[in-house]
Amino acid sequence: MTARIEHRFAQCRANGRAALVTFVMAGDPDPAVSLEIVKALPKAGADVIEIGMPFSDPMADGPAIQAAGLRALHAGMTLHGVLKLVADFRKENAETPMILMGYYNPIYVYGVDQFLADAMAAGADGLIVVDLPPEEDEELCLPALKAGLSFIRLATPTTDDARLPAVLANTSGFVYYVSITGITGAGRPDYSRVATAVKRIKGHTDLPVAVGFGVKDAAAAREIALNADGVVVGSALIDALAKTLDAEGRGGPATVEAVGRLAGELAAGVASAAKERAIP
């Protein structure tokens, strides 16, 4: 499954542009609309999809993603439901990489071996589990790699050169660079610092470096795309989704359309950086 991620980044690189990586929460605002959103993202220009696994205590997430997780949980989304969403998506799309993102507790409760087997069977390509440091690789990272799933690690502005080798040791697929300290959706990145950080990380690894946190619109996506292999957007898409919900928190065709429209704008922003990219 790792091959799907590698192929997509290689494809984008061959086209002279960064990849657009979009995050949405599985089951937000309900399982049916969520599936339609996920199906719409590649058509709008998303190259890679991160699917949030809703959890009741999402410590790294800002208000938008926390609210999305709560909506999904209230709508009955479970980890089984997340994997069903991936499997349903795969019935129509065999090319777009799908990465499961969340926290370890639901996976632990599910059972690591069973979860990995079911994730592979559903058609997932990788995992981002934000609360497992490299020191805990035997818990999930190494079993995931053995099962055939990429394990994508986060690097941050506080990940110095002494720490970076440990972060990168068992990372595969790509490196996710968090451009700002703190929770998702907070502030805007300093683009010059992002460029320096990406260059530093690429001095330690041949993996693509995708940059996220704080990318809210096409202009920001373009700035990040000048110096990164991928641009990750989550909170902005979830904000667009939330604005379409009715008083009862229900979505519909307008919800899918709003998320797809913003994804298309972000994709255009990423594409517009192609001729000026610092990365060949």
Active site residues: 50, 61
Give the integer Cα–Cα distance in Å for 67 and 153: 24
Q: Is the Cβ–Cβ distance between 118 and 146 less than 8 Å?
A: no
Nearest to 124 by CA among 83, 92, 88: 83
Helices (H), 130-234: 141-147, 164-168, 191-202, 218-225
160 burial via Cβ count (<10 Å: 0-12, 13-18, 19+): exposed
Give the integer Cα–Cα distance in Å for 74 and 60: 20
Which residues on adjacent β-strands are paired with residue 83?
A: none
Per-residue burial over 97-131, b = 16 or more CB atoms within 10 Å of its CB, e = otherwise: bbbbbbbbebbeebeeeebbebbbebbbbbbbbbe
Give the integer Cα–Cα distance in Å for 75 and 67: 12
Quick one: how far is CA 259 from the chain centroid? Answer: 15
Q: Are strands 150-151 and 154-155 parallel, antiparallel or unpaired?
A: unpaired
The Cβ of residue 155 has, within 10 Å, a number of other Cβ atoms equal to: 23
Which residues on adjacent β-strands are paired with residue 150?
A: 126
Q: Is the Cβ–Cβ distance between 124 and 144 less than 8 Å?
A: no
